[in-house]
C-alpha cells in the first residue's frame, strides 16, 4: 500500500461536494493537491476551507474544453494521481420528452470530459500512478421514469476504466460509484424536497444514514493507495445498490 505523503494529486471537481471531501482527505495524508474546477470563486472558497497551511493549489479549467485541459496538464507537469468527481446534474425527463441538446451537454461534460482528462493525464502520469473517475448509484438504481440516460452514462464508466486499465498498464484506472451524498449538487437537484428524501432513504439504507463527502473520500484514497486495485468499480453507497 503506497502512501500519499508528498504525492502530487489533481482533483478535478475538488471545489465542491465529493471532490472537496477527497481533497481534504488527501491533504490530511500529506499530499500536494491541485484543485480544479471552472469557477474561480468556488476554487478560492475551497482553498480557504482546506486551511492556510494546506499544501493546496487551484487551477481554473473546464474539462469540456480541450485547450484548457492541455494547459492544465502542461502547467502541473508530472504528477502521481488524477481524481475526477466533476459532473453536472443529469437530465431527468421521461424518454419521450428527451431534450437532445440537454443530453448532449450532459454527455459532453461528464463522459467526454473524462475522456479528455484521460488523454492528457496519460502523457504525464508518473509510474505507479492512478486515475479515478466517478459514476454513481444511478447505474444500479435509475430513477424511473427519466433515469435511462444517466444510467447509461454512469454505467459506461466501468467499461471505460476496464479498457483503459489494460491500455495504460501499469498505470491504474478505477471508478468510484457513490450512493446519495449530501452535496451542493444534491441540493440543486432536490431543492426543498431534500430533507424528506434523505429521511426516507436513510430509513431504507443498511447504513442507516445518508453519506457526507467525508464518508465517500476513503474509496478514492483506497483507489490511489492500493497498488493492486485496477480496472475496478468501487461501490460506496451505504448498501443502496442491494436494496
Ligand atoms: N451527490 C450525490 O448524491 C452523487 C451520487 C452519485 C454520483 N454523484 C456524482 O459525483 C460527482 C460529484 O458530485 P457532487 O455531488 O460532488 O457535485 P458538486 O458538489 O456539484 O461538485 C461538482 C464539481 O465539479 C466541478 N465541475 C463541474 N463541471 C465541470 C467542468 N466542466 N470542468 C471542471 N470542473 C467541473 C464543479 O465546479 P465548477 O462548477 O466551478 O466547475 C464542482 O467542483 C458528479 O459527477 C455526480 O454525478 C453524486
| Residue from 85, 116, 88, 84 nearest 102 by CA | 88
Find the 17 Cα to ligand 1 centroid distance in Å. Answer: 7
Q: Is the pTM of this model over 0.95?
A: yes
**226: helix, coil or strand?**
coil
Three cell numbers, residue 79: 504528477
User: Cα of 86 to ligand 1 centre, how many Å?
Assistant: 4
List pLDDT tens digits, range 181-196.
999 999 999 999 999 9
Choosing from 17, 117, 181, 194 the residue with most ligand 1 atoms within 8 A of its CB, the one to mutate for a pocket test is: 17
The sign of the torsion formed by the CA atoms of 215, 221, 226, 230 equals: positive
The binding-site residues of ligand 1, defined as CB within 6 angstroms of any ligand atom, are 12-13, 15-19, 37-39, 42, 62-64, 85-88, 109, 113, 134, 136-137, 178, 180-181, 183-186
Q: Across the chain, where does the E strand assignment appear?
A: 8-12, 32-37, 56-60, 79-84, 125-134, 172-178, 233-236
The three cell numbers locating residue 88: 453536472
Residue nearest ligand 1's atom 42 by CA: 13
Cα angle value 49/236/194 (rounded, 5°): 65
Rounded CA-CA distance 107/71 in Å is 22
Regions of the chain short of the pLDDT cut 50:
none
Compute, in angstroms, the gap from residue 10 CA to the centroid of ligand 1.
15
Probe residue for ligand 1, chosen from 33, 56, 86 as the CB with the greatest number of ligand atoms within 8 Å: 86
Q: Could you identify the atom of ligand 1 that is nearest to the CA of residue 180?
A: 3
Task: Tell how far the Cα of 85 is from the centroid of ligand 1, in angstroms.
Answer: 6
What domains can be seen in the chain, in order of their start residue? Answer: 8-242 (3.40.50.720)
Three-state SS at 17: helix
- Per residue in 49-83, pLDDT (tens digit) is 998 777 999 999 999 999 999 999 999 999 999 99
Q: Residue 213 and residue 108: Cα distance in Å, rounded?
A: 25
Contact 117, 85 (CB under 8 A): no
Please state, in angstroms and rounded to a whole number, the distance separating the CA atoms of residues 186 and 17. Answer: 9
The residue whose CB lies within 8 Å of the most ligand 1 atoms, and thus the one to mutate among 12, 33, 37, is 37
Which residue, by CA, sits nearest to atom 2 of ligand 1? 181
The closest residue, in CA terms, to atom 5 on ligand 1 is: 180
Amino acid at each position: 500500500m503506497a502512501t500519499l505523503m508528498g504525492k502530487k494529486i489533481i482533483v478535478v471537481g475538488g471545489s465542491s461536494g465529493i471532490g472537496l471531501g477527497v481533497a481534504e482527505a488527501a491533504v490530511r495524508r500529506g499530499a500536494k493537491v491541485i484543485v480544479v474546477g471552472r469557477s474561480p470563486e468556488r476554487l478560492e472558497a475551497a482553498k480557504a476551507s482546506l486551511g492556510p497551511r494546506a499544501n493546496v493549489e487551484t487551477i481554473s479549467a473546464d474539462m469540456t474544453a480541450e485547450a484548457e485541459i492541455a494547459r492544465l496538464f502542461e502547467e502541473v507537469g508530472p504528477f502521481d494521481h488524477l481524481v475526477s468527481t466533476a459532473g453536472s446534474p443529469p437530465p431527468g425527463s421521461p424518454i419521450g420528452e428527451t431534450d437532445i441538446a440537454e443530453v448532449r451537454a450532459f454527455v459532453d461534460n461528464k463522459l467526454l470530459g473524462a475522456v479528455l482528462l484521460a488523454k492528457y493525464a496519460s502523457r504525464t502520469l508518473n509510474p505507479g500512478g492512478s486515475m479515478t473517475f466517478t459514476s454513481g448509484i444511478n447505474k444500479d438504481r435509475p430513477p424511473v421514469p427519466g433515469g435511462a440516460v444517466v444510467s447509461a452514462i454512469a454505467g459506461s464508466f466501468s467499461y471505460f476504466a476496464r479498457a483503459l486499465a489494460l491500455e495504460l498498464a501499469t498505470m491504474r484506472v478505477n471508478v468510484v460509484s457513490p450512493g446519495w451524498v449530501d452535496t451542493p449538487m444534491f441540493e440543486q437537484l432536490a431543492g426543498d424536497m431534500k430533507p424528506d428524501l434523505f429521511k426516507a432513504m436513510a430509513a431504507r439504507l443498511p447504513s442507516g444514514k445518508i453519506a457526507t463527502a467525508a464518508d465517500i473520500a476513503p474509496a478514492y484514497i483506497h483507489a490511489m493507495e492500493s497498488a493492486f486495485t485496477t480496472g475496478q468499480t468501487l461501490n460506496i453507497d451505504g448498501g443502496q445498490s442491494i436494496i
